[in-house]
Amino acid sequence: MDTKLSGGDHAVDSRGIPIRLTGADEIIQRALIRLSVKKGAFAPDPGLGSELYRLAGCKSGDRDRVALGYIKEALVPLPQITVDSAVCTMRTDGALDIKIEAGIENGRYSLEVNNIE
């Protein structure tokens, strides 16, 4: 069980109690954390994170394929999730948004990782 995060803090209910996550919601949150953090940037666990930040220097024709590899590598510690595809969109400010199609438990989910620089 995990606590829901929102805007960099713990999300709370109307009573001020942290909201708990379980099942697919918990797995999704853990996956998004791993994908959003630059690999090596979290000192207590240097293996946490992804190398998606490297995509900016990648040829646009190769970007989706390379992103899929980085995503699968980052999510190895989460065997409950299988990633099927990744589609990158370059924003006008030079950052990337990535849409990911994944299987978690018995469902299909669309995830988004935004503002990758």
8 Å CB contact between 1 and 21: yes
By CB atoms closer than 10 A (0-12, 13-18, 19+), residue 38 is: middle
8 Å CB contact between 5 and 25: no
- The CATH number linked to 95 is 3.10.450.40
Res 97 pLDDT > 90: yes
Phi, psi of 82 (to 5 degrees): -120, 130
Report percent pLDDT > 70 for the chain: 100
Better pLDDT: 69 or 95: 69
Q: What is the pTM of this model?
A: 0.89
Total domains in the fold of the chain: 1
Containing structural domain, residue 53 = 2-116
What is the predicted pLDDT for the residue at 56? 80
